[in-house]
Structure 1
Amino acid sequence: MFRQRKPKRFNYNPRFSNENEETSSDNEAQGSKEFLREWREARRGKRKSRPIISMRTLLIVLVLLLICMYVLERKYIQ
C-alpha cells in the first residue's frame, strides 16, 4: 500500500580518522605551505588605506564653517 523509502547513504569520512593518518598529514603540510605562500603574497600587495577623514566630511565641515562665518558677520557688522 505505502512504499517504503530506502535509507539514505552518506559518504562521511571522519576528520580525525586513524586510517588515513599518513596521507592526511602530508595533505595538511602541503595545504598549510600553500596557505602561507598565498597569505604572504596578499600581505605584500598594495593595501588600500582609508583616509581618517573622508573628502565628503571635509566638504560638509567647510560649508558649515562658511555659513557660520556669514551669519556671524551679518550679525555683528551691521
Structure 2
Amino acid sequence: MFNQRKNKRFSYKPRFQDSNPDSYREELKDGLETKWNEVKGGAKRKGNVLTSLPALIIILVLLFVLIYILDGYMK
C-alpha cells in the first residue's frame, strides 16, 4: 500500500564514445584547448589608427583649441 517508487536505471552509452572513457576525456580536453587557442588568437583587434584612444584624445584637444580660436574671432 505504501510502497515507494524505485529509481529507474538506464544503461545508456553514447554512440561516439570509445571503450576507454579516460582516453575520450583526454581527446575532448585537447580538442577544446586547441579550439580555444584558435578562437583566442583570431580575435586580435585590428583597429584603425584614427579610432585608437590616443588619436581620439588628440582630436578632442584640437577641437577644443579650434573652438577657442573661433570664439576669439566672434568677440
**TM-score, normalised by the number of residues in structure 2:** 0.43
**TM-score, normalised by the number of residues in structure 1:** 0.42
